[in-house]
Copies of this chain bind each other. A is one copy, B any other.
Amino acid sequence: MPVSLPMSLPMSLPETDPTPPRPVIVLVEPQLAENIGMTARAMGNFGLADLRLVAPKGGWPKKGVREAASGATHVLDGVRVFATVAQAVADLTYVLATTARERGQMKRVFGPDAAMRDVTGRLARGERVGILFGRERVGLSNDEVSLADAIVTFPVDPRHASLNLAQSVLLVSYEWRRAADLARLPFGGGMRSPPAPREALLSLFESLEAALDAAGYYPPEKRGGMVRNMRDMLHRMAMTEQDVRTFRGALRALTRRPPEA
């Protein structure tokens, strides 16, 4: 069965989201401009803006990072660089560490969905929250994980557990937007034309059946079942008023007598 959808989503959204408090993203010693740019883009896609870098390898800013960020230059323009993780999280009251593997640390472990539900609650109560993401190849050190209150990990296929850095930021940003109740679709599946009244539909069925009668389509002993089958099929289209007019026009064209030569 198709999932039912609200059909009355707004067709246009206001220019600016209401801006609830948002978590900070902290990349620890990121190396590739591509990954930092894609991280900024992913944050922008889901409404995050505060990006902090700890000792980016090769310095900052990096060549190529703006291209990879696509339109998210506001995120790059706001980047703050720190020498250590402790400095990057100094003003925060709650810190999550992302990691793909067990560290033997006695911390709570969340998936990105549960983590962001918890985080939106904390932010609403005035906490300042950050999420640590480790180096491309080796992630966070155990000492860096020790600076966090809890751990976030991802429900990956254990045979292919290595998520790209920007991909893991994307999942956290996506889940934050959902948890913050901002996850509206940019457009809906609303029909431009209202659903057809039964009367219009029945009248269309009768016109179609009359045309098929005239064309000798139905074997008389099977007509009843064939009519019902075709009505079932047409009902599944859930026709709008416009659909009925379109169908009638096509039927008229098919049954019109050819012009005299």
Contact = CB atoms under 8 A, between A and B. Distances in A.
Interface of A: 1-3, 5, 9, 11, 13, 15-17, 34, 38, 41-42, 44-47, 70-72, 100-102, 104, 106-111, 114-115, 117-118, 121, 150-151, 153-164, 166-167, 170-171, 174, 177-178, 182-189, 191-192, 240, 243
Contact of A106 (B1, B161, B192): B192
Contacts of A71: 160, 162
Given A45-B167, A118-B2, A164-B38, A153 B187 contact: yes
A176 to B, nearest CB: 11
A81 to B, nearest CB: 23
A114 B5 contact: yes
**Consensus secondary structure, chain A interface:** loop
Contacts of A178: 155
B155 A177 contact: yes
A151 B2 CA distance: 13
A186 B108 contact: no
Contacts of A1: 121
